[in-house]
Amino acid sequence: MQSFLIKSLVKEGYRVVVVCPLDRYTLKLIAIGCIHENLPLNRKGKNPLDDLASTWSMYKIYKRLKPDIVLNFTPKLNIYSTIAAKLNDAFVINNITGLGTIFTKQSLSSWIARLLFRCTQPLANFLLFQNKEDRQFFLNAKYVKAEKALRIPGSGIDLERFKAKPIPQGETIRFLLVARMLRQKGVMEYVRAARRLKRKYPNVECSLLGYSDNGNPTSITADRLDKWGTFEGVRYLGGVDDVIPVIESHHCVVLPSFYREGVPRSLLEAAALARPIITTNSVGCRDVMDDEVNGFQCQPKSVDSLFAAMEKIYLSPRYRLIEMGLASRHLVEAKFDVSRVVGTYLQILKSVGRR
> Are residues 211 and 124 part of one domain?
no
Q: pLDDT (tens digit, 0 to 9) for every residue of the chain, 355 residues total?
A: 678 888 889 988 999 999 988 887 788 888 888 899 998 877 666 677 888 999 999 999 999 999 999 999 988 899 999 999 999 999 999 999 887 767 766 777 778 888 898 999 999 999 999 999 999 999 998 999 999 999 998 889 999 999 999 999 989 999 999 999 999 999 999 999 999 999 999 999 999 999 887 767 788 888 888 888 766 779 999 999 899 999 999 999 999 999 888 899 999 999 999 999 999 999 999 999 999 999 999 999 999 999 999 999 999 999 999 999 999 999 999 999 999 889 889 989 888 765 4
> Are residues 265 and 301 part of one domain?
yes
> Are residues 300 and 181 part of one domain?
yes
> Are residues 302 and 200 part of one domain?
yes
Q: Which residues of 198-217 are buried (b: 16+ CB within 10 A; e: fewer)?
A: beeeeebbbbbbbebbeebe
What's the pLDDT at 231? 61
Q: Is residue 166 one of the residues assigned to a domain?
A: no
| 338 close to 278: Cβ distance less than 8 angstroms | no
Distance CA 54, CA 59 (A): 9
What's the pLDDT at 189? 96
> Are residues 258 and 312 part of one domain?
yes
Smallest CA-to-CA distance from 336 within 328, 345, 348 is with 328
Q: Is residue 149 one of the residues assigned to a domain?
A: yes
What's the pLDDT at 99? 79
> Are residues 191 and 129 part of one domain?
no
> Are residues 123 and 251 part of one domain?
no
Q: What residues have CB less than 8 Å from 142, skipping those under 6 apart?
A: 118
CATH of the domain at 258: 3.40.50.2000
Distance CA 225, CA 29 (A): 31
> Are residues 240 and 123 part of one domain?
no
If one counts the domains in the chain, the total is: 2
Smallest CA-to-CA distance from 113 within 122, 123, 128, 103 is with 103
> Are residues 280 and 342 part of one domain?
no
Smallest CA-to-CA distance from 288 within 308, 271, 275, 305 is with 271
> Are residues 253 and 199 part of one domain?
yes
Distance CA 305, CA 297 (A): 8
> Are residues 290 and 214 part of one domain?
yes
Q: What residues have CB less than 8 Å from 203, skipping those under 6 apart?
A: 171, 172, 173
What's the pLDDT at 261? 85
Distance CA 206, CA 197 (A): 9
- Bridge partner residues of 18 (DSSP): 36
Range of 237's domain? Answer: 173-335
Q: Is residue 168 one of the residues assigned to a domain?
A: no
Half-sphere exposure of 97 (CA within 13 A, CB side): 14
What's the pLDDT at 355? 46
> Are residues 346 and 295 part of one domain?
no
Q: Is residue 165 one of the residues assigned to a domain?
A: no
Q: Is residue 221 one of the residues assigned to a domain?
A: yes
